[in-house]
Amino acid sequence: MKQAVILAAGEGRRLRPFTLNRSKAMIFIAGKPIIQYVIESLASNGIKDIKLIVGYQRDQVFDYIGDGKRFGVKVDYITQSKQLGTAQALSQASGATEDEFIVLPGDKLITPETIMKLVGMKPPAMLVKQVQDPSRYGVVRIEKGQIIDINEKPPIPQNNLINTGIYIFEKNIFELLSTKLDIPEVINDLLQKGESIAAIETDQPWLDVIYPWDILSLNSAILDKKLAANNGIVESGVSLSGPVSIGRGTIIRSNSYLQGPIVLGNNCEIGPYACILPSTTLANDVKIAPFTRIKNSVIGDNVTIGSGSEIEDSVIANNCNLGSHFCAFSEETEINMDWQVYVMKIGAMIGEGCEIGSSVVAQPGLIAGNYCKIKSLKVINGKLIDKSIVC
């Protein structure tokens, strides 16, 4: 197995506001976009010829991945102009593949170990995994190591075994894609015709980001495996505990306290007297003013956070400017999404380019769209659409 097709054309509307200007595959987790984890996992398994199906916000993928050389692979791009489904996406690679190839979603976070057993199999085969909430996926029945059927998003799942969207196919699969929108439909048709499809189960990471708050759980899972690394400057009086990764040009000012696992990007400025607590990622060019405390949060590129701020269980996208004494405390709250109510402990989800004044309090569960402007001394809650003004 030397070739892969990665499906990375989708938008990820349920991840708004974080997918307005980037595709789901380009959501950053612990300092890297999801699609980079997929590519690195393929390279580690000796699969270095990659056909990448792109569509929504494709230029960002081009700019970041390029020809793949810096990841040790060769990437060719294929555009899916209309995102109509996974089968239609895969069909775009017809004529570009070898006899056998692996198909993967570009928006699921996997490790090299996740696909290790699958890449040694003969096609057709599917990777399956036990999950806690199978109703969000295609639930798979297997018997004697073979797929029996796939039931998409059943209200009452028969088991916890799901289709990961990772397959080994032969080239003849393209003959079957034209009449279907999604690959599971093609799989079920093959099974009804008596074809055998092997089920390979993995217990290794396969992590999905569906809603904005999922970014936090994926970030925490990756940070748990990070090692300490210091490529920046740490002034006297700074206390570092646990694995803290410090990027190039980043300065930790005196008397700050950092407890890992933490990842700090390049050219950040922290403190003095700042407190960064576990499961926090700061991207590049982030400025954290004195006496600010951040815990279990993901902060994007070019974000400034004023002095005396308190941020917990939150995601703040690129190019935001938060004034002093901004508060986003975390409490258990209800969030309405897709006509369902989710109860979780969460802080604030803040989109790109927001300008927030001093002494603003974000109530738990706030989802603020992109380019919002919030005047000082406001309490904000619920959902704010893009370009909202609160004055």
Cα separation, 208 vs 26, whole angstroms? 13
Both tokens of 312, joined, read 């917990």
- Distance (Å) of CA 386 to CA 71, 141, 363, 367: 35, 42, 18, 10
The neighbour count for residue 2, using CB atoms within 10 Å, is 12
Q: Are strands 49-54 and 3-8 parallel, antiparallel or unpaired?
A: parallel
pLDDT at 96 (0 to 100): 84
Cα separation, 95 vs 82, whole angstroms? 19
pLDDT at 248 (0 to 100): 96
Indicate the DSSP class of residue 7: E
Both tokens of 178, joined, read 């034209």
Residue 335: left (phi > 0), alpha (psi -120 to 50), or beta?
beta
Pair 28, 315: CB distance under 8 Å: no
Ranges of residues in the chain whose predicted pLDDT is under 70: none
Indicate the DSSP class of residue 155: S
pLDDT at 321 (0 to 100): 97
Nearest C-alpha neighbor of 47 from the set 110, 103, 127, 124: 103
Catalogue the long-range contacts made by 359-365 (C-beta closer than 8 Å, 24 or more residues apart).
359/323, 359/324, 359/325, 359/326, 360/322, 360/323, 360/325, 360/326, 360/327, 361/327, 362/314, 362/326, 362/327, 362/328, 363/333, 364/329, 364/330, 364/331, 364/332, 364/333, 365/333, 365/334, 365/335
Tell me if the bond preceding 154 is cis, omega within 30° of 0: no
pLDDT at 225 (0 to 100): 83
Q: Which amino acid is at 104?
A: L
**In 3-state terms, the chain is what percent helix, strand and coil (to 5)?**
20, 35, 45
Half-sphere exposure of 102 (CA within 13 A, CB side): 30
Cα separation, 162 vs 208, whole angstroms? 12
In this prediction the pTM is 0.89
pLDDT at 192 (0 to 100): 85
Cα separation, 61 vs 94, whole angstroms? 21
Backbone angles phi, psi at 293, to 5 degrees: -120, 130
pLDDT at 253 (0 to 100): 97
Whole-number CA gyration radius for the chain: 22
Pair 346, 329: CB distance under 8 Å: no
Q: Domains in the chain, start-ordered, CATH in brackets?
A: 3-210 (3.90.550.10), 226-390 (2.160.10.10)
pLDDT at 68 (0 to 100): 92
Nearest C-alpha neighbor of 90 from the set 2, 174, 179: 174
CA angle 241, 330, 26 (to 5 degrees): 75
Element (H, E) at 86: helix 86-91
Pair 150, 127: CB distance under 8 Å: no
Cα separation, 322 vs 308, whole angstroms? 11
The neighbour count for residue 200, using CB atoms within 10 Å, is 21
pLDDT at 55 (0 to 100): 86
